[in-house]
Amino acid sequence: MRSQFPRPPYRPFADGPHRLAMGLMRVAEADWLELDAGLATALAAKRALLAERHGEVFCAEPEAESPAAELLALMAAHLPRHHPALFHREGNHLLNLATNEAWDLAAPDLHPLELAGRLVVEDLCLLEARAGIYVLTGASLCSPARWRLAEKMGQPLTAIHAPVPGYAESLGAPVERFFATLKPGRLVGRLNWGIADNPAPFQPIGRVTAGDITSANAGARLWLRVERQILRRLERSGAVVFSIRTHITRLDRAIASPAEAQALAAAIRAMPRAMQDYKQIAPVAEPLLGWLSRFG
């Protein structure tokens, strides 16, 4: 496990050839949640999704109520402490200075997990142990990449990751062991990446197609999508919080040098076809590699 999580901009494809592994890195408490100047815009998009497609982006089983309340309390303490320019707390009232929203933590009018999700850009998932197996019991999920929340609720980790080629054989047991031994106060994270032909964060069923993408226009028609995934255990309930911050950058802005272009091309060429299909890189691999080759 690497000792330090990288800083943005993230280029996880530069870490070398594809390898199916957890790839965990330690994360400092202060770096748990990423907040920046785009917070108000991102939260406005979340509010719109929650208003228009609530059942698709939020779900919580009854068992999730207690860990959700614990998560909200943790965030309500963390945000003013580590991001005082954006959050201020007075007693039980939490003020988001970016949106001018004020929340009464003592008597919230929303499910605590939904309120927690409305505070930050990250998607928030709760996983709880049932007979020693961790299952998804609640989520505020406004940036899914080709998966539906309703299909994952109540499912164990192996079922949630069933579409990932090789997961059950290579990662199923190690992931379960990791979840069982993760200690409160220890934050770990990883980066996941893919290529998209649509910059929208909310893509539960998006399908990448080659369409009229060519080696000449791939840089303007494709996006690098990177997920910053952080895991931490809640001390009282024992539930594990899985937070996901999604960064979406148009490819011709994400790739700024020949070295970056060569690293991405090498990562794509080394990726097994099954993983290319899963990440939906295969349909655009040819024009994408052609565009990358223009860097020399």
SS3 245: strand
Burial class (CB in 10 A: 0-12, 13-18, 19+), 271: buried
Beta bridge partners of 87: 96
- For residue 212, give every residue at least 6 positions away whose Cβ sits within 8 Å of its Cβ, in sequence order, or none: none
Q: Per residue in 218-251, pLDDT tens?
A: 999 999 999 999 999 999 999 999 999 999 999 9
Residue 168: pLDDT band (50, 70, 90) is confident
Question: Distance (Å, rounded) from C-alpha 36 to C-alpha 13?
Answer: 24
Statement: the pTM of the whole predicted model exceeds 0.75: yes
Please give the residue range of the domain that contains residue 154.
19-293
Rounded to the nearest integer, the mean pLDDT of the chain is 93
Helix (H) or strand (E) holding 252: helix 251-254
Average pLDDT over residues 90-116: 96
Q: How confident is the model at residue 6 (pLDDT cuts 50, 70, 90)?
A: confident
| Burial bucket for residue 169 (CB in 10 Å: 0-12, 13-18, 19+) | exposed
pLDDT attached to residue 54:
97
User: Is 115 inside any structural domain?
Assistant: yes
Indicate whether 13 belongs to any domain: no
Q: Is 136 exposed, middle or buried (0-12, 13-18, 19+ CB in 10 A)?
A: buried
Which tens digit of pLDDT belongs to each residue from 28-50?
Answer: 999 999 999 999 999 999 999 99
pLDDT value at 1 more than 60: no
pLDDT higher than 70, residue 210: yes
6 lies in some domain: no
Model confidence band, residue 3 (pLDDT cutoffs 50, 70, 90) = low
Domain count, the chain: 1
d(CA 292, CA 296): 8
pLDDT value at 85 more than 80: yes
